[in-house]
Amino acid sequence: MALVATLAYQVSLNTLESREIIGTAIDKNPAIFQLNFHTQFLTLILDPLLRISSTGLFRSGKSFPRLIIIDGLDECKEYHLTTSFSVTPLCTLTFRLALNDTYEPDKDIRLYLIDSFRDIRKTHIMRAHLPDSWPSEEDIAELVAKLSGQFIYAATVIRYVSSLRYNPLSRLKVIQGLLQVKDDRPYAQLDTLYINILSEVEDVETVLRILGMVFVLPKNTYDFIRLLGVSELEKFMQLTPGIVQLLLLDLLSVVDVSDNNEPIKFLHASFSDFLVDPTRSHQFYINPSKRHEEAAYFCIPAIESKY
């Protein structure tokens, strides 16, 4: 159960006064992370913060983080975690922002698009060729209407248009063309965008092999072997040093490879879901079984080099 461990780690980083309290609690009971969620939360989050608060430190005028954000709780597969936030004491200590059918995101998406396009006009390498009137109010309205309230789609569109390798004017026209596709399937337009992004990639076969490794290699530091950074992944797959970041340059709207020492990260779960669903990704489908076989093949020389 990594949620409380992650929260405790972030609290200790951002509120140094809590670090010793949290560390002492773990030292006293090294098996704390095997206990139920309620006990973990009280011991490692609530109690340390209450003890700090009782000293008057939070009223001392010193700046402290005031908010802990837990995003995507509805995607958590551990039912007892999600229900814990609906009963006391957590329900009285937390505020729930439900992004469901009662939430109307169009206004927020419009503001996000306006701010993001303003940033593109100010910072893009081609900013001298981007008029202040771009994109027009009609363009923004069309985007908002077509994005169907999907913030992930809006964010992907902005990352796609803002790529420094391309003309933003042309990239927006591509997006506007894709939005004309009519399909009632969930995420149909997002899938169309993903397919278009992958279609522009050079050596897509190697790129899909690289992305496939992300699925079959460890997902977190609690797994048996530690995560492989980009440079380590290149060694593991016997690729030329630096080639991964080069090959994935056209995928920066959907993946993060900014740090050579960190693993490749998908910017949203919808892209990884897309890749492993053949009905959505079609020619770009990643077969996890085949990628497991390939990973096993690469493991042999990796083990031999160690021993």
Q: Each residue of 80-104: pLDDT tens digit?
A: 666 776 766 667 767 766 665 566 7
Confidence at residue 122, expressed as pLDDT on a 0 to 100 scale: 96
Mind listing the pLDDT tens digit for each residue in 1-42?
578 888 899 888 888 888 999 999 999 999 998 888 888 989
Mean pLDDT within 124-153 = 90
Residue ranges covered by each domain of the chain: 2-92, 105-180, 200-305
Mean pLDDT within 167-196 = 81
Quote the strand ranges of 140-246, DSSP E.
none
Helical ranges in 147-187 per DSSP H? 151-161, 168-178
Mean pLDDT within 254-283 = 89
pTM: 0.62
For CA atoms 206, 211, 214, 217, the dihedral sign is: negative
Q: For residues 175 and 158, what is the distance between their CA atoms, to the nearest angstrom?
A: 10
Lowest mean pLDDT among 143-152, 188-197, 211-220, 280-289: 211-220
Residue with tokens 């076969």: 205
Q: For residues 116 and 96, what is the distance between their CA atoms, to the nearest angstrom?
A: 27
Confidence at residue 267, expressed as pLDDT on a 0 to 100 scale: 85
The better pLDDT of the pair 179, 149 is held by 149
Number of separate helices (H) and strands (E) present in the chain: 17, 2
Confidence at residue 221, expressed as pLDDT on a 0 to 100 scale: 44
H or E stretch covering 265: strand 265-266
Q: For residues 254 and 243, what is the distance between their CA atoms, to the nearest angstrom?
A: 18
Confidence at residue 75, expressed as pLDDT on a 0 to 100 scale: 64
Concatenated DSSP letters for 71-137?
A: --GGG-S-HHHHHHTTSTTHHHH------STT---HHHHHHHHHHHHHHHHHHSTTGGGS-TTPSPH
User: pLDDT over 70 for what percent of the chain?
Assistant: 81
Confidence at residue 67, expressed as pLDDT on a 0 to 100 scale: 77
Q: How many CB atoms lie within 10 A of CB 155?
A: 17
